[in-house]
Chain A
Amino acid sequence: MTHLLEIRDLHKRFGETEVLKGVDCDMAKGEVICVIGSSGSGKTTMLRCINMLEEFQGGSIRIDGQEIGYETVGGVRRRKKETEIARQRALTGMAFQQFNLFPHMTALGNVRLGLVKVKKMAKDEARSVAERWLDRVGLLDRKGHYPGQLSGGQQQRVAIARAIAMNPKLMLFDEVTSALDPELVNEVLQVIKDLARDGMSMLIVTHEMRFAFEVSSRVIFMNQGRIGEAGTPREMFVNPKTERLAEFLKTSTFQQAN
């Protein structure tokens, strides 16, 4: 069976520093995988490679069987054309730590832009799709607001609606609650849990251990550019097999929450 996402021997360098040292990961459709690990372990970089926000020097990433970003012609590996990469990026949706909403557009405008310009939807159709997703994240009544008029949690929910309205095969979440005030974290996590219930395939980089425990079908622990350990949330959080994971969990918020 082909997986939704197949990462094979992924290598990524920033100059001399090797950040990813051979990552392998398979993900089936409908899975929710949380990626945990200390800062600098490469989890965000891996996520960013999947939609080509970072180039990578070795290995391959496939989504639905399509090789992402690079092709090998006559034994020479080269970057695909920018238009092709743009098209492939639309296979995934991404939500960022800093939200990155377009400040000069309303909430509705933010969600609608990709629908009109990338999906080539008619204006009316795009509007109704955008409104439906704003409604799903509980912000239909804020559709005319600009990002500067919304709270951090609201901005992040709009950003998630913007990504998911594009109907991606896979959603990528990059520490989406890390920039939020504590009291705003839950409203965003709730939105992600709702999406999980709907069967959305999601790869989530997070520091929220309790959330990871509750939402994921599998958890991946990244350590120094490699996958240190992977398993079900119960295996990972209750019976960590490696010293490194046990060590990491001891210092994480999950322990404090218990």
Chain B
Amino acid sequence: MPMDFAFLDQLWLARMPLLRGLGLTVAISALAIAAGTFAGVFVGLALTYGPRPLRWLARGYTDFVRGTPVLVLVLASFYVLSTVGLQLNAFQAGVLALTVFCSSHVGEIVRGALQAIPAGQSEAAKAIGLTFGQTFVYVLVPQAIRQILPTWVNTAAEMVKASTLLSIIGVGELLLATQEVISRTFMSLPFYFFAGALYFAVNYGIERFGRYVDRKTTVPG
């Protein structure tokens, strides 16, 4: 079918912009997931062990962010922050918005996992003289990770999908790159399918990573 060859021709011609788009999507997602997870652990700690004012602050933060559409967060960090003097380019603003979104979700996941660990674990750790920091690192985190993992994989996949929203503020990630190719070639269906397959591949990778960590942290018995 000549149609297919035409698509492959166009795909070959568009390979560099699409590859750049994919690279940007992966970079945005990876940055947001890494920074969001890092920040989310602290949000979760504040939610679980923080003194009352800090706990309320963290609670307000997570409820507010989780109740806000990601698109609104993206637009706000791009357009609103500049009015208060924080000048971010589209990429930075987008990553910031996704990081904030991710941190609130991870914070909630971490809180749930920490609260699910029996109190006896912390007491036993205290009883042998471990400090809170040591208890957290050697006793609580290893047990929380297995609890966190499945939901964290979901959140990470959500972040990859949410990265498409950055196309609105002109970040040339995979979706915007695809749309630009389509506007040149008018082959919307095959290129959207192609982009969809790439998103799937990225998320499949995340899921495999989750399974790998799950296998590594399985406790016999």
Chain A interface residues toward B at CB < 8 A? 51-53, 82-83, 86-87, 89-90, 92-94, 96, 98, 100-104, 113-114, 117-118, 145-150, 159, 162-163, 166
How long is the Cα–Cα vector from A89 to B130 in the complex, in angstroms? 9
* Contact partner, A146, options B125, B126, B220, Cβ 8 Å: B220
* Contact partner, B142, options A90, A98, A104, A114, Cβ 8 Å: A104
B221 touches A149 (CB 8 A): yes
User: Could you tell me the distance in whole angstroms from the C-beta of A117 to the nearest C-beta in chain B?
Assistant: 5
Given known contacts A96-B124, A103-B143, is B132 in contact with A82 (CB within 8 Å)? Answer: yes
A90 touches B129 (CB 8 A): yes
Chain B contacts of A150 at CB under 8 A?
Answer: 221
Closest residue of chain A to B139 (Cβ to Cβ) is A102
User: Could you tell me the distance in whole angstroms from the C-beta of B138 to the nearest C-beta in chain A?
Assistant: 6
B130 touches A118 (CB 8 A): yes
Given known contacts A113-B128, A114-B130, A163-B128, is B221 in contact with A100 (CB within 8 Å)? Answer: no
Number of B residues, CB within 8 Å of A = 22
Chain B contact residues, majority secondary structure: helix
A89 touches B221 (CB 8 A): no
A102 touches B121 (CB 8 A): yes
Given known contacts A102-B121, A102-B139, A113-B138, is B129 in contact with A148 (CB within 8 Å)? Answer: no
How long is the Cα–Cα vector from A145 to B219 in the complex, in angstroms? 10
Interface residues of B in 43-83 (CB under 8 A from A): none
B221 touches A51 (CB 8 A): no
B143 touches A104 (CB 8 A): yes
How long is the Cα–Cα vector from A114 to B83 in the complex, in angstroms? 53
User: B131 on the interface (CB 8 Å rule)?
Assistant: yes
User: Could you tell me the distance in whole angstroms from the C-beta of A125 to the nearest C-beta in chain B?
Assistant: 17
B221 touches A166 (CB 8 A): no
Closest residue of chain B to A116 (Cβ to Cβ) is B138
User: Could you tell me the distance in whole angstroms from the C-beta of B76 to the nearest C-beta in chain A?
Assistant: 39
Chain B contacts of A52 at CB under 8 A?
Answer: 126
* Contact partner, B221, options A92, A102, A145, Cβ 8 Å: A145
User: B3 on the interface (CB 8 Å rule)?
Assistant: no
Chain A contacts of B219 at CB under 8 A?
Answer: 103-104, 146, 148
B220 touches A148 (CB 8 A): yes
User: B158 on the interface (CB 8 Å rule)?
Assistant: no
User: B85 on the interface (CB 8 Å rule)?
Assistant: no
Chain A contacts of B1 at CB under 8 A?
Answer: none
User: B2 on the interface (CB 8 Å rule)?
Assistant: no
How long is the Cα–Cα vector from A122 to B129 in the complex, in angstroms? 17
Interface residues of B in 182-221 (CB under 8 A from A): 217, 219-221
Given known contacts A86-B126, A148-B220, is B121 in contact with A100 (CB within 8 Å)? Answer: yes
Chain B contacts of A163 at CB under 8 A?
Answer: 127-128
B128 touches A114 (CB 8 A): yes
User: B123 on the interface (CB 8 Å rule)?
Assistant: yes
How long is the Cα–Cα vector from A150 to B120 in the complex, in angstroms? 18
User: Could you tell me the distance in whole angstroms from the C-beta of A252 to the nearest C-beta in chain B?
Assistant: 26
Chain A contacts of B128 at CB under 8 A?
Answer: 89-90, 93, 113-114, 118, 162-163, 166
User: B87 on the interface (CB 8 Å rule)?
Assistant: no
User: B154 on the interface (CB 8 Å rule)?
Assistant: no
A87 touches B142 (CB 8 A): no
User: B134 on the interface (CB 8 Å rule)?
Assistant: yes
User: Could you tell me the distance in whole angstroms from the C-beta of B18 to the nearest C-beta in chain A?
Assistant: 43
* Contact partner, B120, options A100, A147, A162, Cβ 8 Å: A100
For B127, B132, B139, B143, which residue has the most chain A Cβ atoms within 10 angstroms?
B127
A117 touches B124 (CB 8 A): no
How long is the Cα–Cα vector from A224 to B221 in the complex, in angstroms? 41
How long is the Cα–Cα vector from A101 to B121 in the complex, in angstroms? 7
Chain A contacts of B126 at CB under 8 A?
Answer: 51-53, 86, 89
Given known contacts A82-B132, A104-B142, A149-B221, is B124 in contact with A51 (CB within 8 Å)? Answer: no
Which 3 A-B residue pairings sit nearest by Cβ, starting from the closest?
A148-B221, A90-B129, A114-B128
How long is the Cα–Cα vector from A251 to B48 in the complex, in angstroms? 43
Closest residue of chain A to B121 (Cβ to Cβ) is A100
Interface residues of B in 118-163 (CB under 8 A from A): 118, 120-121, 123-132, 134, 138-139, 142-143
A94 touches B129 (CB 8 A): no
* Contact partner, A86, options B124, B131, B138, Cβ 8 Å: B131
User: Could you tell me the distance in whole angstroms from the C-beta of A69 to the nearest C-beta in chain B?
Assistant: 12
Interface residues of B in 98-130 (CB under 8 A from A): 118, 120-121, 123-130
